[in-house]
Structure 1
């Protein structure tokens, strides 16, 4: 909290703020650093060894209150009430098209379905979905998302979930069948997608 309120601090400055010694502050900072919550940067002080200033990491910043989910839901409700359902569908479709284009570009050199699913899992993890994939015993593929960073928005407007399923189907191509088998918004622990080669008409 002290670093959040005052910015980057030396151990001596932090100790003074907390009413303790610089060494006691340093011990606490080392514990926080081991947890990935603070990081140190060197700062030249003229003659002698450079000093160290401690700052919060992005992991630590995430522990402070954040109302972006509530704001997102409020904005969605305002779009729906002020501009109508069609306007909300336009917003969702725009996001779907942008996401599809980005995923397609990332898969340009991916030849087979498993490579595409592996790339999709990486892309989704980069976006905060904690995604993974595996091959099932029957040869099918399973894409798993252990977290939903847009859960509040998806709960308020399930068009986002429909759009995401459509994105997966588009980027994996006509040669794949994609079905959602678990759904966080519907009470599941995670979102899972069963992916199989599409059956060909004989």
Structure 2
């Protein structure tokens, strides 16, 4: 029957996707490690790795975490640029479809509540970590950058508006995120960006302002975090400097 003949192909495709996902999360990773983590034999993993490499979705990278043969570094694998794009496209497409369905069935407010709930889970985890930084804004930003980077946001920060000899009326920190897991969904549903910005304000204890987002086509998500002082004016009434194209130095 057709269903029976298709079943091995479907199973093979799902396993291939699992291998690709595992490489994205743990790469560089060897075939042996992949097999151990996914419960597959090493020959089976190597077959999928060969197919993924032929498709241009992964590339080899030598690693010192394991020596084989006569001192040769073990072969490990990471996603190629095409692999990142393919993986993100598949998941983003499904997520965006689900959000469209939610909006059609329950309205835009349901999407907003979902976005707030999703960000709220991150905020709850981060709040405990930021508590150890005390009330100093810069220290709290440092902890937030570490937490965001750990979760795949490629975060960084740098001071703006202050030199060794003078202090700008608008002095603070530019918080950057070079990657966003929900970038494509946020392009259509800005509630995700809004929820994240509000969470940053609560976590840092100051009113932050989003300057740029990946969802809107910018090269990085950038948030201005004012450094509190007696003379710091309301950030909404000022012309905020445009985000630096250089990224961060921290």
Q: Please, what TM-score do these two structures have when normalized by structure 2? A: 0.57
In the TM superposition, 1:115-126 aligns within 5 A as: 115-126=139-150
Name the CA distance, whole Å, in 2 between partners of 1:89 and 1:171: 19
Task: Compare CA radii of gyration and give the structure with the larger one.
Answer: 1
Matched, 1:77 2:100: yes
Of 20, 45, 61 in structure 2, the residue corresponding to residue 33 of structure 1 is 61
Shift of residue 97, structure 1, vs aligned partner: 2.0
Shift of residue 160, structure 1, vs aligned partner: 0.1
Deviations 1:28-74 (A, max 9, x none): xxx9233x6xx8687xxxxxx8xx9x775454698273201111111
Secondary structure in 1 matching 2:224: strand
Name the CA distance, whole Å, in 2 between partners of 1:104 and 1:194: 19
Q: Is the 8 A contact 1:7 1:55 kept in 2?
A: no
Of 200, 215, 222 in structure 2, the residue corresponding to residue 192 of structure 1 is 222
Structure 2 alignment gaps of length 5 or more? 1-15, 17-30, 35-42, 232-250
Shift of residue 146, structure 1, vs aligned partner: 1.9
Q: How many residues align?
A: 170
Q: Is the 8 A contact 1:177 1:197 kept in 2?
A: no
Q: Is the 8 A contact 1:169 1:178 kept in 2?
A: yes
Shift of residue 191, structure 1, vs aligned partner: 1.4
Deviations 1:1-52 (A, max 9, x none): 9x7993147xxxx8xxx9xxxxxxxxxxxx9233x6xx8687xxxxxx8xx9
Name the CA distance, whole Å, in 2 between partners of 1:57 and 1:181: 36
Secondary structure in 1 matching 2:61: helix
Check 1:113–1:60 CA distance in 2 against 1; reply closer, same or farther (3 A cut): same
Shift of residue 96, structure 1, vs aligned partner: 2.6
Of 163, 182, 192 in structure 2, the residue corresponding to residue 160 of structure 1 is 192
Matched, 1:92 2:115: yes
Name the CA distance, whole Å, in 2 between partners of 1:86 and 1:135: 36
Matched, 1:150 2:171: no
Secondary structure in 2 matching 1:33: strand
Shift of residue 80, structure 1, vs aligned partner: 0.8
Give the equivalent residue in structure 2 for 1:127.
Answer: 151
Give the equivalent residue in structure 1 for 2:138.
Answer: 114
Structure 1 alignment gaps of length 5 or more? 19-30, 43-48
Q: Is the 8 A contact 2:61 2:77 kept in 1?
A: no
Aligned CA RMSD, in angstroms, stands at: 3.7
Shift of residue 187, structure 1, vs aligned partner: 2.6
Q: Is the 8 A contact 1:147 1:190 kept in 2?
A: yes
Of 161, 166, 172 in structure 2, the residue corresponding to residue 140 of structure 1 is 172
